[in-house]
Copies of this chain bind each other. A is one copy, B any other.
């Protein structure tokens, strides 16, 4: 391998990818540096060339996980072209069984909510920005003429998405889990809402 500064950035990114996935899977306390580095095909010792501390890594990993979700959502929304269709796509992506089950690639706004609440200010700021982005996307997909009501609706929709995914993961009953996904999806995308 080369020694250029670009190579270093690549390595940095590879570690972050692994970390952001593992953090979503197992929380921010569990994954050990050695484990993360091994998963990134590196050794434990080299870690500190890239991050000044584990806390630092977790911080960046959270931001990276948030960005992941943002990118995915942008894709989803961009694929469709109607406003209402965009919302449909978003909701269905959020409440799909895949998004529920593949935690490692899931939206960090839901998956890391509890962890971010205990994390650094920087992470929480990134989280806040991400929530605002989501809200904006949802708002622009709503066709209510009243901006206040659109805002409120976006807040409720996002809350419901987040809550439904999290409960669908925690629950032990497959039927209840599916119910959460499908019924909430149906309700949120229901055309007849005020």
Contacts and interface: CB of A to CB of B under 8 A. Distances in A.
Interface of A: 26-27, 29-30, 103, 109-118, 121, 124-125, 127-128, 131-132, 151-153, 155-156, 158-164, 166-167, 169-173, 176, 179-180, 183-184, 186-188, 192-194
B162 A155 contact: no
Contact of A29 (B30, B103, B160): B30
Contacts of A188: 156
Contact of A159 (B113, B160, B192): B160
A160 B29 CA distance: 27
A163 B158 contact: yes
Contacts of A153: 187
Contacts of A29: 27, 29-30
Q: Please report whether the interface of chain A is mostly helix, strand, loop or mixed according to DSSP.
A: helix
B109 A167 contact: yes
Nearest to A30: B29
Contact of A187 (B30, B156, B180): B156
The 10 closest A-B pairs by CB, nearest first: A163-B163, A162-B163, A159-B163, A29-B29, A124-B172, A113-B166, A159-B164, A117-B169, A116-B170, A159-B160
> Which residue among A116, A117, A184, A194 has the maximum number of chain B CB atoms within 10 Å of its CB?
A117
A172 B118 contact: no
